[in-house]
Chain A
Amino acid sequence: MLELLRQPWPWYVAGPLIGLTVPALLLAGNKALGISSSLRHICAACLPAGIPFLQYNWRKEVWNLWFVLGIGLGGFIGYRVLGHPDTIAISTETVRDLKAQMGLTDFSGLLPKELFALENLTNWKGWVFLVLGGFLVGFGTRYAGGCTSGHAISGLSNLQWVSLVAVIGFFVGGLLMTWVFYPLLF
């Protein structure tokens, strides 16, 4: 059993379990699955700076901060306690393309160290991948009114056409970066 839990979980196990989080949060206390709101609550709690969008009672939304704290703990348990294969078994085509197009050689870990190691903050790579990337995620998700969990999972589950627009936007942005901007950067 433990050995089975250590292995990567297939999509047909993980996907339905992620889907069940939607009714679990509703039944637990009328909460809609959404993670990026936590970023707004943290801003409102730590640095409201008189900004109208950050003037609200974030304490009423504190459940969301407990939820993301749990996600961090879940990452720790999943990766460190249960353990996980060091190299993610991605398709051979992706490995080939990333080698050829981005010059990556080290395929170990959850993300490429050649791009995301903290030492990279001394060159353009770290600033693009860690700082610009993170900034766009935080800026874009609030501008769009949700992220992958709030729009793609929660919103589409509830047949919200607004969420479909957002998810199409997510993919347009992701495809632009992968197919247009990455080839210009590397």
Chain B
Amino acid sequence: MKNLKYLVLGVLFGLILTKSEVVSWWRIQEMFRFQSFHMYGVIGSAILVGLISIQLIKRNRLKTINGEEIKIADKQYTHGTWIGGILFGLGWAITGACPGPMFAQLGSGVAGAAVMLLAALAGTWTYSALREKLPH
């Protein structure tokens, strides 16, 4: 089954998010109040390791395990990048969870996470429906 590897990587990712308490509203509040280094340490060291890894992949022209050339699409700028970014940030400080942590919280048994995820789906659906009317 070709998707099994993504399931396994997802399990590891969810486990790390949970055990490092990135999935906790308390930790996000602590971050936005600048009262702990924890979240900055997690995000900063993740980016550093990701950056070095991508450089190694590019410089050595590494291929996927199936021998495909590795390609990373560039992100496209629209005005939505910052408008949507601010809206997301408002929501992140309210829920204390970005989408990944919502899935992890649901698995850890937080009932409210189901409501948050449904609301997030409604948000994505509403954006999709209004997309042509929004500034980009």
Enumerate chain A interface residues (CB-CB to B < 8 A). Answer: 5, 8-32, 35-36, 38-40, 42-43, 47, 49, 51-54, 62-64, 66-80, 82, 84, 88, 90-91, 93-94, 97-98, 107, 109-112, 115-118, 121, 126, 128-149, 151-163, 165-179, 181-182
Contacts and interface: CB of A to CB of B under 8 A. Distances in A.
B99 A38 contact: yes
Contacts of A130: 95, 112, 115-116, 119
A6 B105 CA distance: 17
A115 B96 CA distance: 11
Nearest to B14: A74
Given A43-B121, A170-B85, A78 B18 contact: yes
14 contacts: A9-B20, A14-B22, A40-B124, A70-B8, A71-B107, A75-B14, A78-B15, A79-B107, A94-B29, A138-B123, A140-B91, A143-B87, A145-B78, A169-B84
Contacts of B47: 19, 152-153, 156-157
A contact face: mostly helix, strand, loop, or mixed: helix
Interface residues of B, number: 117
A98 B85 contact: no
A181 to B, nearest CB: 8
Contact of A35 (B57, B87, B103): B103
